[in-house]
Amino acid sequence: MKIIIGLGNPGEKYIKTRHNFGFMVIDHFAQKHEMEFTQKKFKSFFSKKLVNDEEVVLLKPQTYMNVSGPAVKEAVDMYTCDLQNILVICDDMDLPLGKIRLRSEGGCGGHRGLESISTYLGTTDFSRLRVGIGHPEAEDPSGYVLSSFSKEEEGTIAETIERACLALRTWIFEGIEVCMNKFN
């Protein structure tokens, strides 16, 4: 079993914001694999399906980004899932717009969603796919992450989501090391 967690904020006003890049990626992955978020489970929108003989669970925590940890902990405990079999997708201001970076473990880099998950799991030993949103020039970072992408950025966003979904498939079927070699 593989558990993929897309991070974002619940609610209509956050749908197209930079901070919701994790939700955008997981929604596209779900669509490509005919998975639907028809249930609410683990304080999250939840979907589970066999994808080429691998059981895949998708979670979109509905607890706001900075308190994603309880939702992830509930799912990991319920499925007694090894941490090597979870992957968290989140935005990253330190990466240029459209760049993706995968890691098998590591620090949280000031990302409060990752910090919350790390606190609840008691470790940072879980895979993450960071999706670059760029860094604000002079804007307040909290306002920047809650801002929408511009029209000029839409093409880059679509390409990035496709690339991130390819990385997810690689992670599921070939593992994190192969995935990092192909996509970093």
Reported as a single tens digit per residue, the pLDDT across 106-163 is 888 778 888 899 999 999 999 999 999 988 776 677 888 888 888 999 999 999 999 9
**Mean per-residue pLDDT, 1-5:** 95
Q: Supply the pLDDT for residue 3.
A: 95
Instruction: Evaluate if residue 50 carries a pLDDT over 90.
Output: no
Of the two residues 106 and 39, the one the predictor is more confident about is 106
Q: Supply the pLDDT for residue 67.
A: 92
Cα separation, 119 vs 121, whole angstroms: 6
Active-site amino acid positions: 19
Domain that holds residue 85: 2-183
Contacts of 158 (CB under 8 A, 6+ apart): none
Q: Supply the pLDDT for residue 146.
A: 86
Query: What predicted TM-score, i.e. pTM, was given to this entire model?
Result: 0.93
Q: Supply the pLDDT for residue 138.
A: 67
Instruction: Evaluate if residue 41 carries a pLDDT over 90.
Output: no
| Per-chain mean pLDDT for the chain | 91
Instruction: Evaluate if residue 39 carries a pLDDT over 80.
Output: no
Looking at the structure of the chain, the number of domains it has is: 1
**Mean per-residue pLDDT, 41-53:** 89
Q: What is the CATH number of the domain that holds 67?
A: 3.40.50.1470
